[in-house]
Amino acid sequence: MNPAKEFKAYTASQQKRINAALRSFLPRASCRPKTLHESMRYSVSAGGKRLRPILCLAAAEACGSNDNLAMPAACAVEFVHTYSLIHDDLPCMDDDDLRRGKPTNHKVYGEAVAVLAGDALLTLAFEVISQSKPAGKYTAAEMVQELALTAGSKRLVGGQVMDMEGEGAEPSARQLRFIHESKTAALLTCSMRLGAMAAGANPGKIDALSQFGQATGLAFQIIDDILDITQSSEKLGKSAGKDLATEKATYPSTHGLEKSRREAARLTEQAITALKPLGSKASRLREIGSYLLDRDY
Ligand code: GRG
């Protein structure tokens, strides 16, 4: 099999494992109250690249562990991510009606249920990660804390508030970087750290993987903003062209497409260099980093 085909088969097989695990952690759609559980399952199973759980499992593998140990953490991160998408799409936030190629949660279930489905997914994430059985010196409680710090007011939620407050005004380069670090890179970095913690990795490896997560996360956001300009809604499964329509300041709107591509490539190179201490065990992560730079959706 050629390398591109092999990588495609690897991601498809990881997505399949992750989807099965996500389903197993979610309450059944028939469980009372039915509408809420249907709504949670709707957004989780609507699709999505499963990038964060794939990274979490690959980080555990890069630390020499069986990646099954990281599966509860991988699913917890995807639940947090899906909650953030449901809430971000609400009329009081980004107000969108297309996500993962389907109508957004509130368009199907109404705003109140969408808010509550997001709340319940966030809570479920902590129930699931608390079931982790890490291999080495870390405890499940430390993994819970890692996820809580990432999802909280200084990272995910804080980034969202900074983003909202910046609307209509041109954010400085520093502000834009803070928003990208908090809204995007923090959860990718957390995925890496949780995979490493589940594997019982030493601080040197955790640091290397965190650097990879941070740089890849910033590159991921730049590429996301480029795709918003260059791709169709159909291809992306979410509304394209929104940043231009709402005059939102992004890396490409400030620096242009070419400079943005160069910056994403520079960050990806930085991310891959950070993996040096992990040697050949990190080859999947290198492939994922390169794939994310070249992705078209
Ligand atoms: C706490 C409400 C709340 C929001 C936090 C994550 C977030 C901030 C908002 C979601 C919308 C957004 C533009 C986030 C930036 C990160 C990003 C590009 C998310 C999309 O991730 P993909 O492409 O999505 O991995 P899929 O659908 O493939 O999982």
To which H or E segment does residue 102 belong?
strand 102-103
Q: How far apart are CA 29 and CA 118, in angstroms?
A: 15
Give tens-digit pLDDT for 225-238: 999 999 999 999 99
Which pTM does this prediction carry? 0.97
Question: What is the residue range of 225's domain?
Answer: 3-294
Instruction: CATH number of the domain at 132, please.
Output: 1.10.600.10
Q: Choose which residue among 85, 105, 225, 288 to substitute to test ligand 1 binding: the one with the highest number of ligand atoms within 8 A of its C-beta.
A: 85
* Atom of ligand 1 at shortest range from CA of 49: 28
Q: What is the mean pLDDT of the chain?
A: 96
* Atom of ligand 1 at shortest range from CA of 157: 1
So what's the pLDDT on residue 244? 86
What is the pLDDT confidence band of residue 263, given thresholds at 50, 70 and 90? very high
* Atom of ligand 1 at shortest range from CA of 47: 27
Region of residue 241 (phi > 0: left; psi between -120 and 50: alpha; otherwise: beta)? left
Which ranges of 63-153 would DSSP assign to H, the alpha helix? 71-88, 105-109, 111-129, 140-151
Task: Count the domains in the chain.
Answer: 1
So what's the pLDDT on residue 287? 97
For residue 218, the tally of other CB atoms under 10 A from its CB is: 24
To which H or E segment does residue 22 belong?
helix 3-25
Question: 238 in ligand 1 pocket by Cβ < 6 Å?
Answer: no
pLDDT at 35 over 80: yes
Contact 18, 78 (CB under 8 A): yes
- What's the rounded mean pLDDT across residues 22-26? 98
Q: How far apart are CA 271 and CA 91, in angstroms?
A: 35
- Could you tell me the maximum CA-CA distance found in the chain, to the nearest angstrom? 52
